[in-house]
Amino acid sequence: MSAVKTFQFDPDHVAHAEASGWRAYYDHNWFKMLWLIVSLCQEQFHIPFPLSILASYYIVRASAGWVAVDHDAQAILALHEKFYRIAQRWSGLHFDPVKVARLEEQYWDVHRRLSGKPDKMEFVQTMIDLHSAAFGITPEQARDSAQLRVEANNVVDLITSKTSTNPQADWIKLEELLRQCYRSIQREINQPTTAKAEPTLRS
Protein backbone atom coordinates (compact mmCIF):
# COMPACT_ATOMS: atom_id res chain seq x y z
CA MET A 1 0.00 0.00 0.00
CA SER A 2 1.43 3.39 -0.99
CA ALA A 3 1.85 6.41 1.26
CA VAL A 4 -1.01 8.14 -0.51
CA LYS A 5 -3.38 5.28 0.29
CA THR A 6 -2.49 5.44 4.01
CA PHE A 7 -2.88 9.22 4.20
CA GLN A 8 -5.53 10.04 6.78
CA PHE A 9 -6.98 13.19 8.31
CA ASP A 10 -10.13 14.21 10.16
CA PRO A 11 -12.32 15.97 7.53
CA ASP A 12 -14.58 17.56 10.15
CA HIS A 13 -11.69 18.99 12.17
CA VAL A 14 -10.03 20.33 9.02
CA ALA A 15 -13.29 21.89 7.80
CA HIS A 16 -13.89 23.61 11.15
CA ALA A 17 -10.35 25.00 11.32
CA GLU A 18 -10.46 26.19 7.71
CA ALA A 19 -13.89 27.83 8.00
CA SER A 20 -12.75 29.62 11.16
CA GLY A 21 -9.54 30.59 9.37
CA TRP A 22 -11.50 32.11 6.50
CA ARG A 23 -13.49 34.16 8.99
CA ALA A 24 -10.30 35.37 10.67
CA TYR A 25 -8.85 36.24 7.24
CA TYR A 26 -11.79 38.44 6.27
CA ASP A 27 -11.65 40.07 9.72
CA HIS A 28 -7.90 40.66 9.15
CA ASN A 29 -7.29 38.89 12.46
CA TRP A 30 -3.89 37.51 11.45
CA PHE A 31 -2.89 36.22 14.90
CA LYS A 32 -6.07 34.15 15.22
CA MET A 33 -5.65 32.94 11.67
CA LEU A 34 -2.09 31.83 12.45
CA TRP A 35 -3.18 29.55 15.29
CA LEU A 36 -6.09 28.13 13.32
CA ILE A 37 -3.73 27.23 10.48
CA VAL A 38 -1.30 25.67 12.97
CA SER A 39 -4.14 23.32 13.94
CA LEU A 40 -4.95 22.75 10.28
CA CYS A 41 -1.32 21.92 9.43
CA GLN A 42 -1.06 19.43 12.25
CA GLU A 43 -4.36 17.69 11.43
CA GLN A 44 -4.32 17.69 7.65
CA PHE A 45 -0.64 17.39 6.77
CA HIS A 46 0.70 15.98 10.08
CA ILE A 47 3.28 18.76 10.38
CA PRO A 48 4.73 18.51 13.90
CA PHE A 49 4.92 21.37 16.37
CA PRO A 50 6.80 23.75 16.30
CA LEU A 51 7.41 23.36 12.54
CA SER A 52 3.66 23.80 12.08
CA ILE A 53 4.08 27.39 13.30
CA LEU A 54 6.59 28.11 10.53
CA ALA A 55 4.37 26.51 7.88
CA SER A 56 1.39 28.53 9.14
CA TYR A 57 3.44 31.70 9.15
CA TYR A 58 4.13 31.26 5.43
CA ILE A 59 0.39 30.98 4.69
CA VAL A 60 -0.57 33.93 6.88
CA ARG A 61 2.11 36.11 5.26
CA ALA A 62 0.86 35.06 1.82
CA SER A 63 -2.75 35.77 2.82
CA ALA A 64 -1.93 39.19 4.24
CA GLY A 65 0.03 40.06 1.11
CA TRP A 66 -2.78 38.88 -1.15
CA VAL A 67 -5.24 41.41 0.30
CA ALA A 68 -3.84 44.18 -1.91
CA VAL A 69 -4.94 43.90 -5.54
CA ASP A 70 -1.46 45.02 -6.67
CA HIS A 71 0.30 42.38 -4.55
CA ASP A 72 3.69 40.84 -5.36
CA ALA A 73 2.62 37.57 -6.98
CA GLN A 74 6.14 36.11 -7.06
CA ALA A 75 6.68 36.76 -3.36
CA ILE A 76 3.38 35.07 -2.53
CA LEU A 77 4.20 32.13 -4.79
CA ALA A 78 7.53 31.72 -2.98
CA LEU A 79 5.68 31.56 0.36
CA HIS A 80 3.29 28.94 -1.02
CA GLU A 81 6.22 26.86 -2.24
CA LYS A 82 7.86 26.98 1.20
CA PHE A 83 4.62 25.87 2.81
CA TYR A 84 4.03 22.98 0.41
CA ARG A 85 7.60 21.73 0.72
CA ILE A 86 6.99 21.30 4.46
CA ALA A 87 3.54 19.77 3.87
CA GLN A 88 4.90 17.31 1.31
CA ARG A 89 7.69 16.21 3.63
CA TRP A 90 5.46 15.35 6.59
CA SER A 91 2.16 14.30 4.98
CA GLY A 92 3.45 11.24 3.12
CA LEU A 93 1.75 12.55 -0.02
CA HIS A 94 3.79 12.45 -3.23
CA PHE A 95 3.08 15.77 -4.90
CA ASP A 96 5.28 18.35 -6.60
CA PRO A 97 5.43 21.32 -4.17
CA VAL A 98 6.12 23.81 -6.97
CA LYS A 99 3.17 22.60 -9.07
CA VAL A 100 0.78 22.57 -6.12
CA ALA A 101 1.95 26.02 -5.01
CA ARG A 102 1.21 27.41 -8.47
CA LEU A 103 -2.24 25.80 -8.45
CA GLU A 104 -2.91 27.23 -4.98
CA GLU A 105 -2.08 30.72 -6.24
CA GLN A 106 -4.23 30.09 -9.32
CA TYR A 107 -7.08 29.15 -6.96
CA TRP A 108 -6.74 32.43 -5.07
CA ASP A 109 -6.67 34.35 -8.35
CA VAL A 110 -9.67 32.69 -9.98
CA HIS A 111 -11.73 33.05 -6.81
CA ARG A 112 -11.10 36.80 -6.77
CA ARG A 113 -11.71 37.24 -10.52
CA LEU A 114 -14.94 35.25 -10.65
CA SER A 115 -16.47 36.45 -7.38
CA GLY A 116 -20.11 37.33 -8.03
CA LYS A 117 -20.05 35.97 -11.59
CA PRO A 118 -22.39 33.12 -12.59
CA ASP A 119 -19.98 31.06 -14.72
CA LYS A 120 -17.61 29.18 -12.39
CA MET A 121 -16.36 26.52 -14.80
CA GLU A 122 -12.78 27.85 -14.70
CA PHE A 123 -12.93 27.86 -10.90
CA VAL A 124 -14.17 24.26 -10.74
CA GLN A 125 -11.44 23.12 -13.14
CA THR A 126 -8.78 24.88 -11.07
CA MET A 127 -9.97 23.08 -7.95
CA ILE A 128 -10.07 19.75 -9.78
CA ASP A 129 -6.45 20.29 -10.81
CA LEU A 130 -5.40 21.36 -7.30
CA HIS A 131 -7.10 18.49 -5.44
CA SER A 132 -5.87 15.96 -7.98
CA ALA A 133 -2.27 17.20 -7.78
CA ALA A 134 -2.15 17.60 -4.00
CA PHE A 135 -3.92 14.41 -2.92
CA GLY A 136 -2.85 12.01 -5.67
CA ILE A 137 -6.35 11.31 -6.97
CA THR A 138 -7.62 11.41 -10.55
CA PRO A 139 -9.42 14.45 -11.96
CA GLU A 140 -12.63 12.41 -11.99
CA GLN A 141 -12.18 11.61 -8.31
CA ALA A 142 -11.52 15.28 -7.53
CA ARG A 143 -14.58 16.67 -9.31
CA ASP A 144 -17.03 16.32 -6.42
CA SER A 145 -14.72 17.94 -3.85
CA ALA A 146 -13.89 20.71 -6.33
CA GLN A 147 -17.55 21.51 -6.87
CA LEU A 148 -18.15 21.60 -3.11
CA ARG A 149 -15.22 23.95 -2.53
CA VAL A 150 -16.48 26.34 -5.20
CA GLU A 151 -19.89 26.28 -3.52
CA ALA A 152 -18.21 27.15 -0.21
CA ASN A 153 -16.43 30.05 -1.89
CA ASN A 154 -19.74 31.25 -3.34
CA VAL A 155 -21.16 31.34 0.18
CA VAL A 156 -18.23 33.32 1.58
CA ASP A 157 -18.64 35.76 -1.32
CA LEU A 158 -22.24 36.37 -0.23
CA ILE A 159 -21.06 37.11 3.30
CA THR A 160 -18.16 39.37 2.38
CA SER A 161 -20.15 41.30 -0.24
CA LYS A 162 -22.79 41.94 2.46
CA THR A 163 -25.52 40.44 0.28
CA SER A 164 -26.15 37.54 2.66
CA THR A 165 -29.49 37.77 4.44
CA ASN A 166 -28.19 35.65 7.33
CA PRO A 167 -24.38 35.74 7.66
CA GLN A 168 -24.25 33.49 10.73
CA ALA A 169 -26.29 30.79 9.00
CA ASP A 170 -24.10 31.12 5.94
CA TRP A 171 -20.91 30.64 7.98
CA ILE A 172 -22.45 27.40 9.24
CA LYS A 173 -23.40 26.42 5.68
CA LEU A 174 -19.85 27.20 4.50
CA GLU A 175 -18.35 24.90 7.14
CA GLU A 176 -20.76 22.11 6.15
CA LEU A 177 -19.74 22.44 2.49
CA LEU A 178 -16.07 22.23 3.47
CA ARG A 179 -16.85 19.21 5.63
CA GLN A 180 -18.45 17.46 2.64
CA CYS A 181 -15.52 18.53 0.46
CA TYR A 182 -12.91 17.00 2.75
CA ARG A 183 -14.98 13.88 3.36
CA SER A 184 -15.08 13.40 -0.41
CA ILE A 185 -11.30 13.75 -0.66
CA GLN A 186 -10.71 11.30 2.19
CA ARG A 187 -13.15 8.83 0.66
CA GLU A 188 -11.51 9.00 -2.76
CA ILE A 189 -8.01 8.60 -1.34
CA ASN A 190 -9.11 5.38 0.34
CA GLN A 191 -10.93 3.90 -2.66
CA PRO A 192 -9.25 1.48 -5.07
CA THR A 193 -8.51 3.34 -8.31
CA THR A 194 -10.28 0.64 -10.34
CA ALA A 195 -13.65 1.07 -8.62
CA LYS A 196 -14.68 4.70 -8.85
CA ALA A 197 -18.25 5.89 -8.97
CA GLU A 198 -18.94 8.92 -11.12
CA PRO A 199 -19.39 11.90 -8.77
CA THR A 200 -22.67 13.77 -8.65
CA LEU A 201 -22.57 17.30 -10.02
CA ARG A 202 -24.45 20.01 -8.16
CA SER A 203 -26.26 22.86 -9.80
Decide: pTM greater than 0.95.
no
pLDDT for the residue 192? 63
pLDDT for the residue 1? 34
Question: Model confidence over 50-100: pLDDT tens digits?
Answer: 999 999 999 999 999 988 878 898 999 999 999 999 999 999 899 999 999
pLDDT for the residue 38? 95
pLDDT for the residue 71? 86
Q: Which residues of the chain, if any, have pLDDT below 70?
A: 1-6, 192-203
**Buried/exposed code over 125-147 (b: 16+ C-beta within 10 A; e: otherwise):** bbbbbbbbbbbbbeeebbbbbbb
- Domains of the chain, residue spans: 3-190
pLDDT for the residue 196? 43
Q: Which value, to the nearest 10 degrees, does the dihedral of the CA atoms of residues 103, 109, 113, 114 take?
A: 40
pLDDT for the residue 6? 62
pLDDT for the residue 186? 95
pLDDT for the residue 45? 94
pLDDT for the residue 193? 54
Sign, CA torsion 62/115/28/16 = negative
